[in-house]
Amino acid sequence: MIDDGSRRKTARRGAGIEKERVGGSADADLPVHPKKYASSVDVASLAGVSQSAVSRTFKAGASVSEATRQKVLAAAKALDYRPSLIPRIMLTHRSQLVAIVVGGLYNPFYSMVLEQFLIRLQRAGKQVLMVHVNSDSSLDAVIPKLASYRVDAVVSALSVFSARTADELARLRIPVVAFNTPLTSLWLSSVCCDNYEAGRTIADLFLSRGARRFGYLAGVDASPANSERLAGYRSLLEEAGYGPVKIGPAKFRYDGGHQAALAMFGRPRPPEALFCANDLSALGAIDALRKLGFRVPGDVLVAGFDDIPPAAWDAYQLTTFLQDGTRMVEETVKLIEQALAQEPTSAGVPLVVPVKLVERKTTQ
């Protein structure tokens, strides 16, 4: 049996061995977890200047002699020092961070818009914080996460549906710009494309091509963009004297469009023209129609929305609507800059960007 004294000796020997492994010597007194980042105090000490001189060196427009500046820069380089943004955030209440809330990145349109936002915001001197949510339509579920970040503004491709959510955003006192949102307020702005007019435009095109039975492959029910596209489509058809539109649930996805088209066109008297809530569902529908033996456009006219790159591929040549993503991004950034500068903005009034019909072979 080993007595307590032997245990203590063994423990001391083990500790000494471990110390040798970490520091190279049992007598070395090096920290096991060295400080990760150099501080302004470290730079000041190495340069032989005050901490305030270090702060002035890295502050644009601050007064500091050239000799002091060079000492500080040399010390900073030696220590691999980078100024922390935290003191500036605490002092100015501005982090230069803009949160971009994303969901539904399976849709190439949102990926393209996201890239444009990254480029445009960084050009404006902002840093981007990505916040992902398990939704492709609603911003409501992400409010608690947004409240935990010190961001200057929020951009969202997701909509705001409830007055309660709009009130919660207002309490954060952070400018929010959301695409296609039905609610607006002093702190919540909306930038959207003219979905309603697009629906009317494609209905008119279908009628001019001789179609008399009509279908619609819907996105998600909660999406305002989906509802407005369908409402515009229905309104012109009803004005022209045509009956109910057959509707299938595609949920903005390729496989959703494929399954919905198989179901809709597997029944008697299927539509002669099919408007899809977005291009992904339209591409799925075209492949389903071909599987069923329908010719596009010989038997069925098909149109989508977004003008994603595959829409122009030779295999599809899809008629669609071009959303002016570049202008939507520019208008969004403009609203953010105005709000941060405390200038009058158009918050409360949705900004509507026109869309452009791009006609290709699926309706010719």
Rounded to two decimals, the pTM is: 0.70
Query: What is the per-residue DSSP string for 295-347?
Result: -TTTT-EEE-SB--GGGGSTTT--BEEEE-HHHHHHHHHHHHHHHHTT----T
Q: Which of 113, 108, 357, 111 is closest to 252 using CA atoms?
A: 108
With a CB cutoff of 8 Å and minimum separation 6, the contacts of 277 are: 216, 217, 218, 219, 223, 225, 226, 229, 230, 250, 252, 305
CA distance 247 to 285: 13
Query: What is the per-residue DSSP string for 74-125?
Result: HHHHHHT----SHHHHHHHS---EEEEEE--TTSHHHHHHHHHHHHHHHHTT
User: What dihedral angle (degrees, nearest 10) is formed by the CA atoms of 65, 69, 71, 77?
Assistant: 180
Q: Give, rounded to a whole angstrom, the gap between the first and last alpha carbons of the chain.
A: 94
CA 229 to chain centre: 22
Q: What is the chain's pLDDT, residue by residue, as a tens digit (364 residues)?
A: 444 444 444 434 333 333 333 334 444 444 444 556 778 888 899 889 998 888 888 776 778 899 998 999 999 888 888 766 555 554 545 566 788 877 666 778 877 878 888 888 888 777 777 777 765 555 666 666 666 667 778 887 766 656 677 777 777 777 888 877 766 677 788 888 899 999 999 999 999 999 999 999 999 877 888 999 999 999 999 999 998 999 999 999 999 999 999 999 999 999 999 999 999 999 999 999 999 999 999 999 999 999 999 999 999 999 999 988 788 888 888 887 777 777 555 555 678 889 999 999 999 8
Q: Which domains does the chain show, CATH number per domain?
A: 37-84 (1.10.260.40), 91-193+325-352 (3.40.50.2300), 195-323 (3.40.50.2300)
